[in-house]
Amino acid sequence: MVQTSLPPEEKKVADKVVIFSKELIILLGAFTISLFSFVIIAYRVFYLDKTDADEKAFAFAHSIVNDSTTKLMEVITFFGSHYFLIPANTLLCLFFLFTKKSRYSIKVSAIALSSVLIMLGLKLLFNRHRPLIPLLEPAKGLSFPSGHAFMSVCFYGLLMIIIWKEERPHPVLKWTLLLLVIALLLSIGFSRIYLRVHYFTDVVAGFCIGSFWLLLSSFLIDRIRPAGLKKA
């Protein structure tokens, strides 16, 4: 049998279709896992009243409390606060808008603004109060899901997407940066539990719903092609 090869243009289109199909399958899997995990956590906490994971997490955090660790946790938690994330999102948006004219400028602003609205809506919906015995100062607002976890996933998760898609960094540098961002993200989540301003389930739920929204909004924005902006 004689095998015929596709013309170059058709081959490029076919390759793009295959890549798009793989990305879509991965995204659908990630969407499902993130959303399903959030629903399960909410069901266990608010319907079944299962809080054993929260109690175990507080017990572990309490076992490592000391002055130096507390100071470190205060520094780490700052990188998940609005005091840091608002200017960080703004600078990242301006960087991509004026230096690269990339669609990432739209992604950063759209994801940051929409995630704030979703987070506030979910907090009002679930209306869970903060832990009663914070390690230092009481935190304002409601507890579920963790705003630090939610907003951090949206910002640092987008940074991870940018790093992953960037072609220039050496693979070793790329993976080093990715691991450092993941470590910071997890540390921010743990800092909220250590400081006893969030329950363990608040943090995990924030990571789950934040991941879901980041992936969904990133996918939808990628389907938009504003004039004058390069593909992200």
What residues contact 183, with CB distance under 8 A and at least 6 apart?
Answer: none
Given its phi and psi angles, is residue 196 left (phi above 0), alpha (psi -120 to 50 degrees) or beta? left
CB of 192 closer than 8 Å to CB of 146: yes
The answer to whether residue 227 is domain-embedded is: no
Q: What angle do CA 171, 174, 178 make, to 5 degrees?
A: 140
The answer to whether residue 231 is domain-embedded is: no
The answer to whether residue 210 is domain-embedded is: yes
Residue 74, exposed/middle/buried by CB under 10 A (0-12, 13-18, 19+)? middle
The answer to whether residue 60 is domain-embedded is: yes
> What pLDDT, on the 0 to 100 scale, is given for residue 13?
46
The answer to whether residue 196 is domain-embedded is: yes
Q: What count of Cα atoms within 13 Å lies in the side-chain half-sphere of residue 120?
A: 5
> What pLDDT, on the 0 to 100 scale, is given for residue 115?
87
- Domain holding 87, by residue range, is 8-222
Please give the model's pTM, rounded to 2 decimal places. 0.83
The answer to whether residue 74 is domain-embedded is: yes
Q: What DSSP character marks residue 99?
A: I
Domains identified in the chain, total number: 1
The answer to whether residue 3 is domain-embedded is: no
The answer to whether residue 232 is domain-embedded is: no
**pLDDT tens digits for the chain (232 residues)?**
444 555 555 444 444 444 556 667 777 878 888 889 999 999 999 999 888 999 999 999 999 999 999 999 999 999 999 899 989 988 888 887 777 656 677 778 888 888 889 999 999 999 999 998 888 888 888 999 999 999 999 999 988 888 887 767 677 888 899 999 999 999 999 999 999 999 999 999 999 999 999 988 887 877 775 544 555 5
The 3-state DSSP class for residue 230 equals: strand
Residues found in the chain: 232
* Dihedral sign for Cα atoms in the order 115, 121, 126, 129: positive
